[in-house]
Structure 1
Amino acid sequence: MVEPIGHVAMALLFAVPAWFLWGRRPAVTFAVLTQATAVLPDVDIYLREYFSHPLLQHHGITHTVPFVLVVGVVFGIAAAYLLTSTLNANRLIHSDSITRSTTFLFTTAAFWAGGLSHIFVDLLSAAPDAGIAPFWPLYRGDVIINIVAYDSTPVNLGLIATAVVLHVGLYRTERYPYETRWGVNYESN
């Protein structure tokens, strides 16, 4: 298992594209949300205490791309219907034009970024006897990349330092975001 700081760092790196889509406040929120979702695949550690099923072993079904994609869409739909009106009414957001599709895209993408970053970093540090089947049930074989040791302090510190410097640099840059239809202040014609 990867150290928590490795999951934090990789989730921050996977959150970088948010700066190009949404700008400062939403990008910071996106990065924070990826932190919450980056540890979600490890829910299997707690589930196996209550359920005894082979799919709930550590690095089982919750560590698969299809699981992360499906659960991310479910969370995105729930957020779109439950949070959009609250977000538009919140004076800290400075907008009253956030659409359900924007909320859906934002939360789904954050969930996917966090969850997929978790799987990716686990693959990078998977021991030969601890492979992961990230594409199950489409491909049932284990995938082992094993580039770095999961407990490598220099690698974990290097990743977190890189991620923080990147986010701070983007925070201080005034050129973003690019105009997209998914922007928080986007007005349709």
Structure 2
Amino acid sequence: MGHFAMALLWATPAWAVWEGRVSLAFVGFALSTAMLPDMDLVLRSVLPVQHHGVTHTVVFVTAVALATALLVEFGLKSRLEQLWLTERGYTVPRWALFAFVFGGLLLGGFSHLFADMLSAPDVAAPVEPFWPLFDKPWSVDLIWYNSSWWNAGLLAVGLSIHALAAYADRSAAHPWTLRRR
């Protein structure tokens, strides 16, 4: 719950970049990527990786975000437009899908790293988010990882902020919005 709450907080600026449904889609995408660094829990059944290891680094999150965003922008954009947008008369501006995917993966992954830096020593080894640049753990130990009150409170704050942002959004001209042909 805490990782999703942190991703909600980090995704708040989406309301200033995109409009209405696109902002909401970005927030949903960022939420779906909030557990990206924990893919080590799945990978360790087939690879010799440890929890809070390489997948919990800025380098890993950035590399996955970049590779995925490039794949979507150059490999899937025309297909996505054809499937969902062309018949409705919309087109996606150049690099908008890249920004959307890269930003969502980066934001979700970084919010996860940040949350682990605030809480990890309680239940797991501290993260080394800046490895290989700095080979030292980094944590603040501010939040108790298993605190239902803290996690629920953070989630309530995140949901409230997004509800207010959605209410305040007036669909003004945003730089990365869909455009009618």
TM over 0.5: yes
The structure-2 alpha-carbon separation of the partners of 1:108 and 1:177, relative to structure 1 and needing over 3 Å to count, comes to farther
What residue in structure 1 maps to residue 93 of structure 2?
Answer: 99
1:162 matched to 2:157? The reply is yes
Query: Could you tell me how far apart the structure 2 residues matched to 1:66 and 1:127 are?
Result: 21
Moved more, 27-36 or 169-178: 169-178
Coordinate RMSD, CA, aligned: 2.2
Query: Could you tell me how far apart the structure 2 residues matched to 1:30 and 1:154 are?
Result: 27
How much does 1:170 deviate?
1.1
Secondary structure of the corresponding residue to residue 154 of structure 2: helix
Provide the identity percentage.
35
Matches within 5 A, 1:28-177: 28-52=24-48, 56-89=49-82, 90-91=84-85, 96-127=90-121, 130-177=125-172
How much does 1:60 deviate?
0.3
Q: CA offsets, 1:9-51, max 9 Å, x none?
A: 1111111111100011111111111122111111101211212
5+ residue gaps, structure 2? none
5+ residue gaps, structure 1? none
Q: Which amino acid aligns with 2:75?
A: L
Query: Could you tell me how far apart the structure 2 residues matched to 1:95 and 1:36 are?
Result: 28
Secondary structure of the corresponding residue to residue 16 of structure 1: coil
The structure-2 alpha-carbon separation of the partners of 1:68 and 1:124, relative to structure 1 and needing over 3 Å to count, comes to same
For these two proteins, the number of residue pairs brought into alignment is: 179
The structure-2 alpha-carbon separation of the partners of 1:175 and 1:140, relative to structure 1 and needing over 3 Å to count, comes to same
Which stretches of structure 1, 4 residues or more, deviate above 3 A after TM superposition? Answer: 91-95, 174-179
Query: Could you tell me how far apart the structure 2 residues matched to 1:153 and 1:108 are?
Result: 31
Moved more, 99-108 or 116-125: 99-108
How much does 1:85 deviate?
2.2
Q: TM-score, normalised by structure 1?
A: 0.86
What residue in structure 2 maps to residue 185 of structure 1?
Answer: 179
Secondary structure of the corresponding residue to residue 151 of structure 1: coil
CA contact (8 A) 1:87 1:98 kept: no
Q: Which amino acid aligns with 2:137?
A: D
